[in-house]
């Protein structure tokens, strides 16, 4: 019996639909792998395969799905990687998870993550760091590190993650898989334990672009429970293009190699050449305000987070530290329940919103955001896709960047401006540097996911990256 | 010691629970008096991952209120988060409106409206005293049924100058909102809540003094007494040479004591920022048309109609129009076909009947039917009973109900007005008071009261004063 | 940049207890981050409108129609302390 977990999600779905593969057998194979996982990718794994339902006949055909811890899953621990929600079992399921289950993808497991999605290395989890399958002394990236390690390590066919400033794309890049951040509003946020409301988006982490398109196509759609969700104007199609003729790629003027590891930059330039061989043109585009992206992001995201995390007060759910008075109950609960990075961002966010500082920080950051969004709109008048390396480095060692928060924040340099603009972007593996995966990021205007997936598919074929090579 | 006169400056902040079917940001039904925590959902419990969605009907009611108050309706308004920690605030922020509210400006009667905005109500916190479950410390229980109820907040300009005017204006607002049908506006049940901002300043000056906020007075009487007490407290401070502290105060109506809830230093930093989970509200033509079509005749318009069509004095028109129940009772009385004249009927309702009932009582709840009052007023108009006699009839009606004509008959209160009945009594009165008759004959009408009094005594008050005077003049050849 | 006193003030606003060590560390770390973020506070942006809503959509409203509530036992299921059908908390009036 060949290893059914070697199939991509699409291949497995086709096999099940054709009657060549049993969905329960597939689930069991993955379940066993997930239960035996040594990368600490999981916070919960299903006990057994679900009974076959009508849904198994749906488009996702029973291919099991790993879901990031912060998605509410009824009756199943949903902790957002935090101690303050340890063991919390919600009474409802997140809309996007429910939608995917109805389309035929049963819940395999919940994946580990940076606490409240704050981090770029998955070292901020209350449930321990996640290890990179390519090198277990290194981080898988974050905050969706568990989802990335699960897919890259081969113990899940595909996974759901969330991206706020790069938390799908960067771990995809560091683990050699595909990660897509949708247009803001394309996927419902109802049931996603919030980090930064105006930036959070759910998205797929998969072995290849086809799987990403297949999963993403079932995720979109207006949800009446989320006021900010929109009806995506296009049906997401499985990409087939093998060339990039007529595609204009734009490289931001600020990308010069400075601040980027030489190997990462080399892979980037090679990928550009490959794209040109496939018929694409490459030109420079100015994004003059992108340099302020990190600063604006590290005001807006913590500010929204400081408000979103205020509900964790020990009153209705989660951790409570008993105290004789209300104020002490609040402060001790939150002291004991939140990790260091979360506390830092709550403090930063509270400060930025506080009396006397709002205009200088939050007010300014919101305007910088407008400028960045306008930069991209202007760029898309002359190019179809803006491309950059996904991250400035390959996977770094555990503990290598934990001493200085600022150093960690720099991991998001190329992903953050895209999040601020609310536009979609994908990361695909473009090669290796020092035997570690390097990611190539492609961003497009709002609702251009089909074009992005199409271009990514063509490049992926040409690059021929072996995503399974790193599995230890 | 200065003999400066101080004037009170009052602005009101009113919270109105809207009578929609469901909460402001979720589909839980509104409740009052139900067992705790039986009307909740992930949204109003603020479970992790939940998101708010705005109730379209609350916007509709907000637009109606803005139109009724003559406010400018913002083409685009947004919600803001008001951040603070308290057990009755499950998200640790209240979704409210800040600098882009639904309505700006407006006016009701003599008071200008500053703004009207929408927000959600807090949950209920009930103090339970010592609880063995919690280190034997004082504990409270939180009930989230009320949490998330839609609220409209109305803020006035500081145009009010005394406590009574404030209470009266609040009554007028309440009537207006009742007529609109947007709220039960019941102060006892908490669907109408009023805080007052009070300051004082030397009369005739323009600069505002330091204001204090007096919170949660839950009846019109308490509001009046609270404002009066606070103004007096401030005046005492200033006269003693002190300064008024800006603070939030609580008025205890039983003891008239005013205690501090929160000083300026403890004031919250709410860290307002635009609510990213909600979309802006852009008012469409459809929304405006629907709101306008839903407006009933408002009190001011009704008052205008009373003045124009019925010839009522402006004072009477306002009294009847601004207390909906009075206006309804009045129109029912007028329509009962008794032949009562509008102004006298208004006077009998507004002065005589009301003074015989509890303050703020609805005459429709009394024993006096609208038709009965109208009949009584008609009888007076036809001089079948005197003013004094009619008052006695009204006392009877208030106590037991019944028909005025029947009561007049039964109590023998019919006016003595016919000249043949009265004339001999007047003659007798003049004969009994020759010195008065002499003065009257001389043109000095002052002592006529003596003659009238004599006749009234003889007729047990059932003579018509005007008729007596006429007979006196005739008999004296004046 | 941001001193101990400011840290304590912000921590109070955020209802976060911080040990002495943590206050010192927080002051250093926040100062470092703020030092970088400072640049945007210097930009001249008065005529740039703020992006308060990423999606250019208005009027996501819902009809005033009842939806099912949670049964009370489910609503209270995760509560740390319950009494008389409500969430039990130390009283706001009680002081340490």
Confidence grade of residue B134 (pLDDT, cut at 50, 70, 90): low
Q: Which residue has tokens 């009446």?
A: A224
Task: Please give the pLDDT value at position B424.
Answer: 87
Dmax (CA) of chain B: 97
C13 CB neighbours in chain A (<8 A) are 350, 354
DSSP B369: -
Q: What is the CATH number of domain C1-41?
A: 1.10.20.60
Phi, psi of A194 (to 5 degrees): -75, 145
Can you give the residue ranges of every domain in chain C?
1-41
Mean of the per-residue pLDDT values of chain C: 91
Res A470 pLDDT > 70: no
Residue B1, domain member (yes or no)? no
**Which residues, including other chains, have CB under 8 Å from residue C95's CB and lie 6 or more apart?**
A325
The domain of B42 spans 6-292
My answer on whether B241 and B288 are in the same domain is yes
Per-residue pLDDT band for B476 (boundaries 50, 70, 90) equals: confident
DSSP-based three-state secondary structure for C5: helix
Domain end call among B411, B440, B465: B411
Chain B CB contacts of A315 under 8 Å are: 87, 90, 142
Find residue A162's DSSP bridge partners: A202
Percent of chain A with pLDDT over 90: 93
- Residue A304 clears pLDDT 50, i.e. is over it: yes
Which pLDDT band holds residue B299 (cuts at 50, 70, 90)?
A: confident
pLDDT for the residue B422: 82
* CA–CA gap between residue A299 and residue A305 (Å, rounded): 10
> Which residues, at least 6 apart from B389, have a Cβ–Cβ distance to it below 8 Å?
B408, B413, B414, B415, B461, B462
* CA distances in angstroms from A20 to A23, A26, A31, A61, C43, listed in the order given: 10, 11, 20, 12, 62
Q: Higher pLDDT residue, C37 or B87? A: B87
Is the Cβ pair C66, B28 closer than 8 Å? Answer: yes
- Any chains having at least 3 CB pairs less than 8 A from chain B are A, C
- A297 burial class (0-12, 13-18, 19+ CB within 10 angstroms)? buried
- Class of residue C19 by CB neighbours under 10 A (exposed 0-12, middle 13-18, buried 19+): exposed
**Domain count of the fold of chain B:** 3
Is B19 in the same domain as B158? yes
Other CB atoms within a 10 A radius of the CB of residue C83 amount to 17
d(CA A303, CA A350): 6
- DSSP lists the bridge partners of residue B217 as B194
- Report whether pLDDT(C54) > 60: yes
C-alpha distances in Å from residue B182, one per residue of A80, A449, B168, B204 = 41, 46, 20, 39
> Which residues 195-214 of chain A have a CB within 8 Å of chain C?
198-199
Q: Which fold has domain A4-246+384-470?
A: Amidase signature (AS) enzymes (3.90.1300)
Q: Which two tokens stand for residue A32?
A: 């066993």
Say which range, A170-174, A350-354, B126-130, B418-422, has the weakest mean pLDDT.
B418-422
Active site residue A307: no
Instruction: Indicate whether this model's pTM tops 0.95.
Output: no
Percentage of the residues of chain B whose pLDDT score is greater than 90? 68
**pLDDT tens-digit series, residues B177-217:** 999 999 999 999 999 999 999 999 999 999 999 999 999 78
Q: How many CB pairs under 8 A join A and C?
A: 161
What is the C-alpha separation between C32 and C1, in angstroms, rounded?
A: 8
Q: Mutual orientation of helices A364-379 and C20-42 as an angle, nearest 10°?
A: 50
What was the pLDDT predicted at B322? 81
Contact list in B for residue C54 (CB cut-off 8 A) is: 276
Which among C50, C77, C96 has CB closest to A367? C50
HSE-CB of A151 using CA atoms within 13 angstroms? 35
Confidence at residue B4, expressed as pLDDT on a 0 to 100 scale: 85
Element (H or E) spanning C25, and its range?
A: helix C20-42
Q: Does A472 touch chain C if contact means CB atoms closer than 8 Å?
A: no
Give the pLDDT mean for B39-55: 98
What average pLDDT does the segment A421-436 reach? 97
Cβ atoms of A79 and A115 closer than 8 Å: no
Token pair 């709109």 in the structure block, residue: A377
pLDDT score at A57: 76
Least confident piece of the model among A158-162, A411-415, B277-281, B324-328: B324-328
Domain membership of residue B320 (yes or no) is: yes
Answer whether residue C96 shows pLDDT above 50.
no
Residue B86 phi, psi (nearest 5): -165, 145
Distance in angstroms (rounded) separating the CA atoms of residues B461 and B452? 10
Instruction: Specify whether the CB–CB gap between A144 and A162 falls below 8 A.
Output: yes
Q: Which of A143, A229, A306, A427 is catalytic?
A: A143
Whether C74 has its CB under 8 Å from any CB of chain A: the answer is yes
Judge if B224 and B149 occupy the same domain: yes
**pLDDT of C95 higher than 50:** no
Residue A32 pLDDT exceeds 60: yes
Q: What is the pLDDT of residues A363-382, one digit of tens each?
A: 999 999 999 999 999 999 99
pLDDT 10s digits, B447-458: 888 888 888 888
Residues of A in contact with B85 (CB under 8 A): 310, 313, 330
Query: Are B99 and B208 in a shared domain?
Result: yes
Residue B451, domain CATH: 1.10.10
Tell which of B277, B292, B307 closes a domain. B292
Specify the higher pLDDT residue, A287 or B438.
A287
B11, B196 Cβ separation under 8 angstroms: yes
Q: How far apart are CA A168 and CA A254, in angstroms?
A: 23
Q: Is B339 on the interface with C (CB under 8 A)?
A: no
Give the mean model confidence (pLDDT) for residues A286-309.
96
Last residue of a domain, one of B355, B386, B411: B411
Average pLDDT over residues C29-40: 90
Chain B partners within 8 Å of A197 (Cβ): 276-277
Contacts of A358 (CB under 8 A, 6+ apart): A352, B271, B272, B273
Q: Do B285 and B183 share a structural domain?
A: yes
The predicted structure's pLDDT at residue A156: 98
DSSP β-bridge partners for residue B29: B22
Tokens of C45: 């942006």
Note the pLDDT of residue C92: 84
- pLDDT at res. A462: 97
pLDDT tens digits along B310-336:
999 989 998 898 888 899 999 999 999
Q: What is the mean pLDDT of residues A438-463?
A: 98
| Residue B130: predicted pLDDT | 72
How far apart (Å, rounded) are the C-alpha atoms in residues C96 and A245? 71
B299: its two tokens: 């009190």
Over residues A330-353, the mean pLDDT reads 97
Share of chain B above pLDDT 70, in %: 96
Interchain CB distance below 8 Å, A311 and B90: yes
**What is the rounded distance in angstroms from the CA atom of residue B452 to the CA atom of residue B68?**
52
pLDDT at B418 over 80: no
Q: Where are the domains of chain A?
A: 4-246+384-470, 291-365
Cβ neighbours for A344, distance < 8 A, ≥ 6 positions apart: A405, C26, C29, C30, C33
- Determine whether A82 is an active site residue: no
Same-domain check for residues B339 and B286: no
Instruction: Check whether residue B112 and residue B133 sit in a common domain.
Output: yes
Do B161 and B138 sit in the same domain of this protein?
yes
Q: What's the average model confidence in pLDDT over A189-200?
A: 98
- DSSP lists the bridge partners of residue B247 as B263
ipTM for this prediction: 0.97
pLDDT number for residue B265: 63
To test the contact with chain B by mutation, choose from A307, A309, A312, A348 the residue with the greatest count of B C-beta atoms within 10 A, namely A307
CB-based contact, B284 to chain C, within 8 Å: yes
Q: Is B460 left (phi over 0), alpha (psi -120 to 50) or beta?
A: left
| Backbone angles phi and psi of B302, in degrees to 5 | -65, -40
Q: What is the residue-wise DSSP string for A339-367?
A: -HHHHHHHHHHHHHHSTTTTIIIIIHHHH
Report residue A293 as tokens.
């992206």
B314 and B457 co-located in one domain: no
pLDDT (tens digit, 9 = 90+) per residue, B229-276?
999 999 999 999 999 999 999 998 888 889 988 776 667 899 999 999
Instruction: Look at B87 and C52 and tell me if their CB atoms are within 8 Å.
Output: no
β-pair type (A42-45, A107-111): antiparallel
Mutate to test the interface with B, among C69, C74, C77 (most CBs of B within 10 A): C69
């Amino acid at each position: 019996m060949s290893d059914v977990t070697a199939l991509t999600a699409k291949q497995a779905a086709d096999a099940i639909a054709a009657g060549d593969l049993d969905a329960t057998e597939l689930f069991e194979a993955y379940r066993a792998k997930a239960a035996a996982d040594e990368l600490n990718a999981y916070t919960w794994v299903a006990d057994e395969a679900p009974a076959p339902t009508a849904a198994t006949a749906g488009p996702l055909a029973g291919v099991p799905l790993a879901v990031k811890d912060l998605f509410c899953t009824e009756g199943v621990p949903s902790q957002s990687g935090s101690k303050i929600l340890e063991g919390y079992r919600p009474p409802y399921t997140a809309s996007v998870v429910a939608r995917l289950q109805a389309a035929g993808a049963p819940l395999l497991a919940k994946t580990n993550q940076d606490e409240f999605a704050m981090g770029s290395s998955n070292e901020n989890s209350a449930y321990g760091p996640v290890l990179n399958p390519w090198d277990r002394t290194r981080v898988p990236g974050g905050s969706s590190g568990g989802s990335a390690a699960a897919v890259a390590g081969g113990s899940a066919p595909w996974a759901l993650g969330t991206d706020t400033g790069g938390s799908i794309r960067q771990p995809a890049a560091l683990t050699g898989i595909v990660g897509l951040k949708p247009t803001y509003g394309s996927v419902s946020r109802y049931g996603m334990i919030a980090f930064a409301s105006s930036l959070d988006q759910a998205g797929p982490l998969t072995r290849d672009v086809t799987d990403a398109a297949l999963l993403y196509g079932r995720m979109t759609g207006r949800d009446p429970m989320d006021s900010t969700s929109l009806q995506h104007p296009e049906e997401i199609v499985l990409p087939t293009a093998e060339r990039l003729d007529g595609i204009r790629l734009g490289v931001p003027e600020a990308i010069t190699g400075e601040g980027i590891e030489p190997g990462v930059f080399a892979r980037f330039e090679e990928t550009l050449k490959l794209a040109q061989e496939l018929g694409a043109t490459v030109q420079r585009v100015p994004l003059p305000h992108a340099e302020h992206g990190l600063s604006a992001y590290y005001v807006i995201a913590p500010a929204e987070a400081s408000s979103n995390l205020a509900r964790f007060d020990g009153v209705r759910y989660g951790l409570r530290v008993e105290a004789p008075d209300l104020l002490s109950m609040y402060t001790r609960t939150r002291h004991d329940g939140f990790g260091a990075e979360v506390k830092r961002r709550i403090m930063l966010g509270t400060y930025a919103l506080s009396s006397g500082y709002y205009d200088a920080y939050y007010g300014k950051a919101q305007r910088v955001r407008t400028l960045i969004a306008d930069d991209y709109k202007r760029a898309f008048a002359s190019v179809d896709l803006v491309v950059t390396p996904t991250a400035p480095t390959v996977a770094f060692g555990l503990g290598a960047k934990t001493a200085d928060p600022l150093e960690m924040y720099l991991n998001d340099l190329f992903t953050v401006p895209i999040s601020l603009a609310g536009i979609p972007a994908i990361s695909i593996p473009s090669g290796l540097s020092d035997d570690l995966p390097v990611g190539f990021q492609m961003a497009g205007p709002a609702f251009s996911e089909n074009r992005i997936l199409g271009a990514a598919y063509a490049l992926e074929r040409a690059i021929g990256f072996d995503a399974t090579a790193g599995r230890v | 010691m200065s003999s400066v006169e101080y004037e009170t400056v009052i602005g009101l902040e009113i919270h109105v629970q809207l009578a929609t079917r469901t909460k402001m940001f979720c589909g839980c039904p509104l409740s009052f008096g139900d067992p705790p925590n039986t009307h909740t959902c992930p949204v109003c419990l603020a479970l992790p991952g939940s998101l708010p969605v705005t109730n379209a009907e609350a916007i509709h009611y907000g637009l109606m209120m803005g139109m009724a108050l003559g406010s400018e309706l913002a083409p685009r308004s947004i919600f803001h988060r008001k951040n603070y920690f308290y057990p009755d605030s499950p998200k640790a922020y209240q979704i409210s409106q800040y600098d882009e509210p639904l309505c700006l400006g407006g006016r009701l009667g003599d008071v200008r409206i500053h703004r009207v905005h929408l927000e959600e109500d807090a949950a209920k916190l009930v103090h339970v005293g010592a609880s063995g479950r919690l280190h034997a410390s004082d504990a409270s229980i939180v009930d989230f049924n009320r949490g998330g109820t839609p609220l409209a907040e109305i803020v006035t300009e500081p145009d009010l100058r005394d406590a009574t005017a404030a209470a009266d204006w609040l009554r007028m607002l309440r009537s207006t909102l009742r007529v609109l049908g947007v709220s039960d506006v019941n102060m006892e049940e908490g669907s109408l809540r009023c805080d007052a901002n009070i300051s004082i300043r030397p009369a005739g000056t323009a600069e505002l003094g330091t204001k204090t906020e007096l919170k949660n007075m839950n009846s019109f009487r308490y509001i009046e007494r609270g404002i009066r007490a606070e103004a007096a407290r401030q005046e005492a401070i200033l006269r003693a040479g002190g300064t008024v502290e800006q603070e939030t105060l609580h008025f205890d109506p039983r003891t008239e004591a005013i205690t501090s809830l929160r000083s300026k230093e403890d004031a919250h930093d709410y860290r307002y920022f635009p609510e990213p989970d909600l979309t802006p509200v852009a008012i469409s033509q459809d929304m405006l048309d629907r709101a306008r079509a839903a407006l009933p005749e408002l009190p001011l318009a009704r008052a205008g109609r009373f003045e124009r069509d019925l010839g009522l004095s402006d004072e009477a028109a306002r009294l009847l129009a601004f207390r909906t129940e009075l206006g309804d009772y009045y129109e029912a009385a007028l329509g009962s076909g008794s032949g009562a004249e509008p102004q006298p009927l208004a006077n009998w309702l507004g002065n005589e009947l009301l003074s015989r009932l509890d303050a703020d009582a609805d005459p429709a709840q009394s024993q006096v039917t609208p038709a009965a009052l109208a009949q009584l007023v008609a009888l007076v108009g036809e001089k079948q009973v005197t003013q004094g006699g009619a008052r006695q009839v009204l006392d009877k009606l208030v106590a037991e109900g019944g028909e005025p004509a029947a009561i007049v008959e039964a109590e023998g209160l019919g006016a003595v007005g016919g000249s043949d009945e009265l004339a001999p009594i007047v003659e007798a009165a003049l004969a009994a008071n020759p010195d008065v008759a002499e003065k009257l004959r001389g043109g000095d009408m002052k002592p006529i009261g003596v003659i009238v009094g004599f006749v009234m005594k003889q007729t047990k008050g059932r003579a018509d004063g005007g008729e007596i005077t006429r007979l006196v003049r005739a008999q004296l050849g004046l | 940049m941001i001193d101990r006193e400011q840290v304590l003030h912000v921590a109070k606003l955020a209802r976060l207890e911080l040990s002495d060590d943590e206050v010192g560390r927080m002051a250093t770390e926040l100062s470092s981050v703020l030092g970088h973020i400072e640049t945007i506070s210097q930009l001249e942006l008065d005529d740039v409108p703020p992006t308060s809503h990423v999606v250019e959509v208005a009027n996501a409203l819902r009809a005033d129609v009842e939806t099912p509530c949670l049964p009370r036992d489910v609503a209270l299921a995760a509560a740390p302390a319950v009494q008389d059908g409500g969430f039990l908390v130390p009283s706001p009036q009680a002081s340490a």
